[in-house]
Chain A
Amino acid sequence: EPEVTQTPSHQVTQMGQEVILRCVPISNHLYFYWYRQILGQKVEFLVSFYNNEISEKSEIFDDQFSVERPDGSNFTLKIRSTKLEDSAMYFCASSAWEGNTEAFFGQGTRLTVV
């Protein structure tokens, strides 16, 4: 069964460092998303991406964040100058159709900023 894969599963970084979280969406999907979940809190939308550009972004997704689809398969989230409060699970998701219809999530990357 096709699945969204994310790497790494766990990333520890020092405050102020840059991290890149990687995702391989399901191959025939066209819409890609990043969500995050701070421990014990709700899953929160960060950004959606379609046709090589950002479709929507939340107020969380400020200049510290960027997304890129560097090739035909990978979808990355870059966090510049990480802060302690960036520690969370980051989930990549993809869907075949617009509207998050049947969005499938990857297993997540646990980011710990120390």
Chain B
Amino acid sequence: QKEVEQNSGPLSVPEGAIASLNCTYSDRGSQSFFWYRQYSGKSPELIMFIYSNGDKEDGRFTAQLNKASQYVSLLIRDSQPSDSATYLCAVYQDTGRRALTFGSGTRLQVQP
């Protein structure tokens, strides 16, 4: 069973701080990694994707990938109350079932 694990949280950070969200995955064949944001009762919204080891930055968001450690993270700089949501890590395997496997998500609370 291919798993994607996330701490459910809540992760509480003050406004303006850096929020660090982590994800581990079990399948070494995973090739593509995605971070989605999901507000309560809404659909997942794609915010970042990363395919290669290292860091990828997009505005206030940085995704980090370490395939050797099977670890993906998302950093949110200058956190805003509007960033309060559940962040879903999703992993795509190119072999076997070619579909996204989602983690259960980490709930982020940004305190004003």
Chain A residues with a Cβ under 8 A of chain B: 33, 35, 41-45, 48, 55-56, 58, 89, 91, 98-108
In the assembled complex, the CB of A6 is this many whole angstroms from the nearest CB of chain B, namely 9
21 A-B residue pairings within 8 Å (CB atoms): A42-B102, A42-B103, A42-B104, A43-B44, A43-B88, A43-B90, A43-B102, A45-B97, A45-B100, A48-B98, A56-B99, A58-B97, A99-B94, A100-B34, A100-B100, A101-B92, A103-B34, A106-B43, A107-B42, A108-B42, A108-B43
Chain B residues with a Cβ under 8 A of chain A: 31-32, 34, 36, 42-46, 49, 88, 90, 92, 94, 97-105
Known A101-B92, A106-B43: A55·B104 in contact at CB below 8 Å: no
What residues on B are CB-neighbors of A105 within 8 Å?
Answer: 36, 43-46
Q: Which DSSP category, helix, strand, loop or mixed, fits chain B's interface?
A: strand
What residues on A are CB-neighbors of B98 within 8 Å?
Answer: 48, 55-56, 98-100
> B97 touching A107 by the CB < 8 A rule?
no
> A101 touching B32 by the CB < 8 A rule?
yes
What residues on A are CB-neighbors of B99 within 8 Å?
Answer: 33, 45, 48, 56, 58, 100
